Amino acid sequence: MTNPNLLDSTLTMILAGGQGERLYPLTREVAKPAVPFGGIYRIIDFTLSNCINSNLRKIYVLTQYKSSSLDRHLRRGWSFLHPELGEYIYTIPPQQQVADLWYRGTADAIYQNIYTLEQEKPERVLILSGDHIYKMDYSRMIDSHVQSGADLPVACVEVPLAQASHLGVMAVDESSRITGFQEKPESPAPVPGNPDVALASMGIYVFSTSTLVRTVSEEARRSQTRHDFGLNIIPRLVDSGKVFAYNLKDTNRNTTLYWRDIGRLGTYWEANMDLLEKHPEFDLYDESWPIRTFQVQRPPARVRVENAQSVRAIISNGCDIDDARVHHSILSPGVTVQPDASVTDSILMEGVDVGAGAVVRKAIVDHDVVIPPNSRIGVDAREDGQRFTITPEGIVVVPSGIQLDGA
Amino acid sequence: MKRILIADDDKNLAELYQQELTDDGYQVEVVHDAREAIRRVESELPDLLILDIRMPGMDGIEALNHILGKNNRLPVILNTAYSNYKDNFMTWSANAYVVKSSDLTELKTTIQDVLERRESDV
């Protein structure tokens, strides 16, 4: 077990300011980390749960765009630590304390919060993103940083080459030293000895505080930079020869662990659907790794269906399915599905009402949308294309606030 | 001719700097508080700022942040009688930190270094 002092002297900063433009319209009202996931969760719950499960209890969440919903969620669901004992989860919006600017990038977000680091003076800082789905014990990575004498570990995960072109890809030598970096490469470099996979950066770093402050302060003085850890800081530090890949693997089975960057609507839908596998790689029901969230009190889900055939679904509290067919779908709390309706391969957010006889296929329906009786979503691509966003994978996205006419 | 702005509430010291640096061929302006330094940096675009830390009202550290927020390319040398601010992370974005001394050699060499590095960056 990791020395508790190591974790106590580590400050965690979660970058939760991304606009999430590629998740639009789900991010029309909320920041990406606050987008619902897996029925009852918000995307940031997974990173925060990892922190708590890793025993990291000094956490700042750096927010920026559309942060009120995220902020409310954190206050309602994540205010259980005790600041008087030196443990906390605090959100920090841009304060313009250092500069009269919004955060210009991830590195600038840290730079603009140097005052916080100055007050806390932690020995090291763990930097995380608030928009990834995975389980990870960060304490092992922190251990490796300390034992190596403060090298800079970058958490990486092996991904199939085809997926790597959406991600930041690391080139490494045999000793895991990072020798190069490509952002969203057209032809990603494979891992030595394994031509089918590339090593993707998870956007997770452990810095000694002095290195971090020095680096982001220098970056703030540069022009022609995007002030980004992945794009600017890490490539610059790679030349120092002190940047190493920390490969997130299941060390018992030597297999790659589940990690998804929820960057696009397609990956968002797929990652949700992954939860519905018979034996999901990413299991919400794993008692050794509890995932916390905030939930409103609601009655238990009610399913009034006779002779149901092959139901595979996550059905949250307060849902009411009345003699309808729900298959391979995720229902957030308070969803109602009226008689003879059919919902397949879909994600229905909180409070959605599916009218009697309506058909919903391969769709993401945002909160509180009322789907009129007998209407069809995900059936006729041409009709849907006139009203909704359709992803390249053919997923129909119905935004919140829309008024749908009856069929 | 390179233009240097000095911000220091110690008027005698600022005058001494002004004389010495003018003799060395710089064009030197002096202000005595941080807010005035921020205004002058914006209006006069000096090539270098020598900034005291402990001043009445706004201190040099807070001023440094405002100044770099407006012009992140301006070279700044923090110049203070105290060495303990070196540990303050907020001072690390300055180009140099020189502790005040009756011997101006270190300050002058640092001015040269910082200006030369600025030239080679451009």
Domain ranges for chain B: 3-116
For A254-309, the pLDDT digits (tens) are: 677 899 999 899 999 999 999 999 999 999 999 999 999 999 999 999 999 987 77
Give residue A2's pLDDT: 67
**Mean model confidence pLDDT for chain B:** 93
CA distances from B18 to A200, A262, B4, B64 (A): 55, 58, 9, 21
Query: Taking CB atoms and an 8 Å cutoff, what residues of chain A touch B96?
Result: none
With CA atoms as reference, the chain A residue closest to B63 would be A98
Most confident of A30-34, A45-49, A113-117, A178-182: A45-49
The structure tokens 């794993």 sit at A286
Rounded Cα distance between B42 and B116, Å, is 22
Sheet with A342-344: strands ordered across: A325-327, A342-344, A359-361, A376-377
Cβ-count burial B105-114 (b if 16+ within 10 Å, e if not): eebbebbeeb
ipTM: 0.85
CA nearest neighbour of B7 among B25, B24, B44, A214: B44
With CA atoms as reference, the chain A residue closest to B67 would be A99
Q: Which of residues 106-125 of A touch B (CB under 8 A)?
A: 111, 114-115, 117-118
Q: Is A214 on the interface with B (CB under 8 A)?
A: yes
Nearest to A115 among B69, B70, B90 (CB): B90
Is A252 a residue whose pLDDT tops 70?
no
Whether residue B89 and residue A118 make contact (CB cut-off 8 A), yes or no, is yes
The structure tokens 């509290």 sit at A317
With CA atoms as reference, the chain B residue closest to A121 would be B89
Rounded Cα distance between A75 and A61, Å, is 12
Whether residue A118 and residue B69 make contact (CB cut-off 8 A), yes or no, is no
Whether residue A115 and residue B73 make contact (CB cut-off 8 A), yes or no, is no
Q: Domain B3-116 is in which class?
A: alpha beta
Q: Is A369 exposed, middle or buried (0-12, 13-18, 19+ CB in 10 A)?
A: buried
Residue A99 — very low, low, confident or very high, per pLDDT cuts 50/70/90? Answer: low
Cβ-count burial A284-295 (b if 16+ within 10 Å, e if not): eeeeeeebebbe
Give the CATH architecture of domain A302-398: 3 Solenoid (2.160)
Is A76 a residue whose pLDDT tops 60?
yes
Phi and psi at residue A127, to the nearest 5°: -110, 130
Sheet with A302-304: strands ordered across: A302-304, A320-322, A336-337, A353-354, A370-371
CA distances from B71 to B35, B59, B67, B89, B97 (A): 15, 18, 6, 19, 19
What is the least distance, in Å, from the CA of A120 to any CA of chain B? 11
What is the least distance, in Å, from the CA of A48 to any CA of chain B? 27
Phi and psi at residue B116, to the nearest 5°: -65, -45
Rounded Cα distance between B92 and A151, Å, is 21
Q: Stretch B62-78: mean pLDDT, rounded?
A: 91
Among A96, A104, A114, the residue to mutate for chain B (most B Cβ within 10 A):
A114
Is A322 a residue whose pLDDT tops 60?
yes
Is A310 a residue whose pLDDT tops 80?
no
Amino acid at A183: E
Q: Which of residues 193-212 of A touch B (CB under 8 A)?
A: 209
Whether residue A97 and residue B65 make contact (CB cut-off 8 A), yes or no, is yes
Query: Taking CB atoms and an 8 Å cutoff, what residues of chain A touch B72?
Result: 220-223
Ordered by start, the domain boundaries in chain A are: 4-274, 302-398
Query: Taking CB atoms and an 8 Å cutoff, what residues of chain A touch B90?
Result: 98, 114-115, 118
Among A13, A98, A222, the residue to mutate for chain B (most B Cβ within 10 A):
A98
- The CATH superfamily of A4-274 is Spore Coat Polysaccharide Biosynthesis Protein SpsA; Chain A (3.90.550.10)
For A386-405, the pLDDT digits (tens) are: 999 999 999 999 999 999 98
Q: Stretch A134-156: mean pLDDT, rounded?
A: 90
A378 Ramachandran zone, left/alpha/beta (phi>0; psi -120 to 50): left
Query: Taking CB atoms and an 8 Å cutoff, what residues of chain A touch B70?
Result: 100
CA distances from A119 to A161, B60, B90 (A): 43, 18, 10
Residue A253 — very low, low, confident or very high, per pLDDT cuts 50/70/90? Answer: low
Q: Which secondary structure element, helix H or strand E, spans residue A4, and what is its range?
A: helix A4-8
Q: Stretch A65-91: mean pLDDT, rounded?
A: 93
Instruction: Kindly report whether the peptide bond that precedes residue A94 is cis, defined as omega within 30 degrees of 0.
Output: no
Higher pLDDT, A38 or A1: A38
Give residue B60's pLDDT: 95
Give residue A165's pLDDT: 87
CA nearest neighbour of B4 among B41, B39, B34, B32: B41
Distance from the Cα of residue A86 to its chain's centroid: 26
For B6-53, the pLDDT digits (tens) are: 999 999 999 999 999 999 999 999 999 999 999 999 998 999 999 999
Distance from the Cα of residue A296 to its chain's centroid: 22
With H, G, I as helix, E, B as strand and everything else as coil, classify residue A324. coil
Instruction: Answer whether A248's CB lies under 8 Å from A202's CB.
Output: yes
Is A24 a residue whose pLDDT tops 90?
yes
Is A1 a residue whose pLDDT tops 80?
no
With H, G, I as helix, E, B as strand and everything else as coil, classify residue A177. strand
Query: Taking CB atoms and an 8 Å cutoff, what residues of chain A touch B65?
Result: 97-99
Nearest to A99 among B65, B73, B88 (CB): B65
Among A118, A125, A211, the residue to mutate for chain B (most B Cβ within 10 A):
A118
The two tokens of residue A136 are: 């990870």
Is A53 a residue whose pLDDT tops 70?
yes
Query: Taking CB atoms and an 8 Å cutoff, what residues of chain B touch A98?
Result: 65, 68-69, 90
Distance spanning both ends of chain A, measured CA to CA: 60
Q: Is A380 exposed, middle or buried (0-12, 13-18, 19+ CB in 10 A)?
A: exposed
The two tokens of residue B22 are: 């003018």
Nearest to A118 among B68, B69, B88 (CB): B88
Q: Stretch A207-234: mean pLDDT, rounded?
A: 89
Rounded Cα distance between B86 and B31, Å, is 23
At CB < 8 Å, which residues of chain B contact A? 65-66, 68-70, 72-73, 88-90, 92-93
Whether residue A221 and residue B73 make contact (CB cut-off 8 A), yes or no, is yes
Residue A65 — very low, low, confident or very high, per pLDDT cuts 50/70/90? Answer: confident
Rounded Cα distance between B112 and B119, Å, is 11
CA nearest neighbour of A13 among A53, A80, A59, A49: A59
Query: Taking CB atoms and an 8 Å cutoff, what residues of chain A touch B117?
Result: none
Higher pLDDT, A193 or A107: A107
Query: Taking CB atoms and an 8 Å cutoff, what residues of chain A touch B38?
Result: none
With CA atoms as reference, the chain B residue closest to A100 would be B69
Whether residue B68 and residue A221 make contact (CB cut-off 8 A), yes or no, is yes
Cα-Cα-Cα-Cα torsion A40, A44, A49, A51, nearest 10 degrees, comes to 180
